[in-house]
């Protein structure tokens, strides 16, 4: 295994505020990063994100606010970073493509690639989408030369530009994808990428003349041009770690084990353009492209251009920490499109969080206070006990490993289902053993103590396993249980011991009453 794992989101284009759709990608990558830190150790994992700040869309957005492009991107990058911090993402690197170190690195890669003979200049006429900031061929467009991503007509542009030889690397990239040396998952996107690579590729235009656009990184060997925004943005995955570790060390260690999290709309740029960009610079390819679908709202893709965006911090403020994280990870199958609705979020909140998780936590802690004075009097029975005890122990046994394996394969919804199956077993155990009834007989208090020890242990294991998905909630439950990190990670039956004191309950997820229809 590599010394390090490098996890990235796409570099977010900051021509508009972040929304729930962009938050979904950051949250999925954060769940994966947290799960990998638990699996391999925090020192073996780095997690990177940032903002893509060059190009014509940024320039136009800045002009619309009467700001210079750099002042505009300063504001927007801070907004993205603040929103993701508010969602408890755990980035190790935050890269801005306007950072001086990043700009220098891009120029070094351009020089390196040019010296290897894979960049050339020629006059060119092509169909250009300003919103995509890329040229299209006629067969890629909808009838009437309409951009398929933005449903707007493209522009015919004639100019001289620098091009990167990407067809030269097409067969090599195709073979690496076929053999899963560059693994694209889910597999449907692998097949899609292979179809894109099945025919010769037009070489990639990697410059824009300053006479048309001067907001970009200057081409080091021709100061009349700036770099194409996509060429610039890709290198954000590399520039900051390379500066910290050294390019050679980073490329030999973490980079071949990189996990890119991207949306399906940028599969082509990452599977067709990015690998040749790396190979042309003499660098290896990453390990995985993890491709997710779109988050739809009201039947349409949630996006800045569609105008149907939702502020992710609204849900953090109104519903509480982790609720948005839980909803999108539980509802959406990674790789498929998902539907987002506030009504469905409230249903999940009440059923899963208020009724299942919150109610169990409150009941168990309240009974421990009422019947045991808050201090455990028995050990949990990891093996042995009666049939009910064994059933609960079996539900908790190996839960952390099952969840870790599912998270590693991007099956986030199934990982949460596994946790909720254990939670359901604990709720059924309360009903079957009825400690609230047994406690009426003083002679049966030892059995009540054993039941509550099992339930406290179950809560501990569930809370610990929830951490990648619901870090704030996990921390709150573990604090109520009064356990440290070392105890939290123990297998069922090996954590909390007799004499351990837990805290009184607090309401984690108060029910939300739906407004009555007229």
The predicted-structure confidence for 435-449, as pLDDT tens digits, reads as follows 999 999 999 999 999
**What is the 3-class SS of 239-283, one letter each residue?**
HHHHHHHCHHHHHHCCHHHEEEEEEHHHHHHHHHHHHHHHHHCCC
The two three-digit tokens of residue 515, written as one number: 């407004």
**Burial category of 311 from C-beta neighbours within 10 Å (exposed 0-12, middle 13-18, buried 19 and up):** middle
> Do residues 152 and 284 share a domain?
yes
Coil, strand or helix: which one is 294?
Answer: coil
Q: Is residue 452 part of a domain?
A: yes
The CATH number linked to 441 is 1.10.730.10
> Do residues 309 and 376 share a domain?
no
Instruction: Please give the Cα distance from 175 to 195 (Å, whole number).
Output: 12
Q: Residue 10 carries which DSSP code? A: P
> Do residues 169 and 132 share a domain?
yes
**What is the 3-class SS of 445-483, one letter each residue?**
HHHHHHHHHHHHHHHHHHHHHHCCCCHHHHHHHHHHHCC
> Do residues 313 and 371 share a domain?
no
Find the domain containing 451 and state its range: 342-488
**pTM for the full predicted model:** 0.93
Q: Is residue 330 part of a domain?
A: no
> Do residues 353 and 390 share a domain?
yes
Q: Is residue 303 part of a domain?
A: yes
> Do residues 192 and 68 share a domain?
yes
Cα dihedral sign for 482, 487, 492, 498?
negative
Per the structure, the count of domains in the chain is 2
Q: Is residue 333 part of a domain?
A: no
Q: Is residue 323 part of a domain?
A: no
> Do residues 10 and 140 share a domain?
yes
Instruction: Please give the Cα distance from 312 to 170 (Å, whole number).
Output: 39
Residue 518 has pLDDT above 60, yes or no: no
Q: HSE (CB half, 13 Å, CA atoms) of 309?
A: 16
Residue 308 has pLDDT above 60, yes or no: no
Instruction: Please write the tens of the pLDDT for every residue from 314-371.
Output: 999 999 999 999 999 999 999 999 999 899 999 999 999 999 999 999 999 999 999 9
Q: Is residue 499 part of a domain?
A: no
> Do residues 305 and 346 share a domain?
no
> Do residues 359 and 233 share a domain?
no
Instruction: Please write the tens of the pLDDT for every residue from 27-62.
Output: 999 999 999 999 999 999 999 999 999 999 999 999
The CATH number linked to 156 is 3.40.50.620
> Do residues 118 and 164 share a domain?
yes
> Do residues 99 and 214 share a domain?
yes
Strand partners, 57: none
Q: Residue 311's pLDDT is what? A: 87
> Do residues 103 and 165 share a domain?
yes
């Amino acid at each position: 295994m590599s010394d390090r794992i490098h996890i990235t989101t796409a570099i977010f284009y900051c021509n508009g505020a972040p929304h729930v759709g962009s938050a979904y990608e950051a949250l999925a990558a954060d769940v994966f990063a947290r799960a990998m830190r638990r699996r391999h150790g925090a020192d073996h994992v780095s997690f990177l994100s940032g903002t893509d700040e060059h190009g014509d869309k940024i320039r136009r957005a800045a002009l619309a606010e009467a700001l210079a492009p750099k002042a505009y991107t300063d504001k927007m990058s801070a907004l993205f970073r603040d929103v993701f911090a508010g969602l408890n993402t755990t980035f190790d690197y935050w890269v801005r493509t306007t950072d001086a170190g990043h700009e220098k690195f891009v120029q070094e890669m351009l020089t390196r690639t040019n010296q290897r003979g894979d960049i050339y200049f020629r006059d060119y006429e092509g169909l250009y989408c300003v919103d995509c900031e890329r040229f299209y061929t006629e067969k890629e467009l909808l009838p009437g030369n309409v951009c398929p991503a933005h449903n707007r007509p493209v522009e015919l542009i004639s100019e001289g530009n620098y091009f990167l030889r990407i067809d030269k690397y097409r067969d090599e990239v195709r073979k690496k994808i076929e053999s899963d040396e560059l693994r694209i998952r889910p597999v449907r996107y692998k097949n899609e990428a292979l179809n894109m690579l099945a025919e010769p590729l037009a070489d990639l235009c990697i410059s824009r003349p300053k006479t048309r656009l001067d907001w970009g990184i200057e081409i080091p060997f021709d100061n009349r041009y700036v770099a194409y925004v996509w060429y610039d943005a890709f290198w954000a995955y590399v520039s900051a770690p390379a500066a910290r570790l050294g390019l050679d060390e980073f490329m030999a260690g973490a980079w071949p084990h990189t996990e890119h999290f991207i949306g399906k709309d940028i599969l082509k740029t990452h599977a067709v353009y990015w690998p040749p960009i790396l190979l042309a610079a003499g660098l290896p390819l990453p390990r995985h492209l993890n491709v997710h679908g779109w988050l739809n709202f009201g039947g349409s893709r949630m996006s800045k251009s569609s105008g149907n965006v939702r502020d992710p911090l609204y849900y953090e403020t109104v519903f509480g920490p982790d609720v948005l994280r839980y909803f999108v990870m539980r509802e959406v199958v990674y790789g498929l499109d998902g539907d987002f609705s506030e009504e469905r979020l409230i249903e999940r909140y009440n059923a899963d969080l208020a009724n299942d998780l919150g109610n169990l936590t409150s009941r168990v802690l309240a009974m421990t206070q009422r019947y045991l004075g808050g201090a455990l009097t028995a050990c949990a029975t990891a093996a042995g006990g009666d049939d009910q005890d064994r059933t609960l122990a079996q539900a908790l046994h190996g839960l952390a490993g099952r969840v870790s394996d599912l998270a590693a394969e991007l099956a986030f919804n199934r990982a949460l289902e596994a946790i909720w199956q254990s939670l359901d077993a604990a709720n059924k155990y309360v009903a079957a053993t009825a400690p609230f009834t047994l406690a009426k007989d003083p002679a049966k208090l030892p059995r009540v103590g054993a039941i509550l020890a099992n339930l406290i242990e179950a809560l501990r294991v569930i809370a610990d396993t929830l951490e990648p998905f619901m870090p704030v909630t996990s921390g709150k439950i573990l604090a109520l249980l009064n356990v440290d990190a070392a105890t939290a990670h123990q297998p069922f039956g090996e954590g909390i011991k007799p004499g351990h004191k837990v805290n009184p309950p607090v309401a984690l997820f108060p029910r939300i009453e739906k407004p009555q229809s007229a």
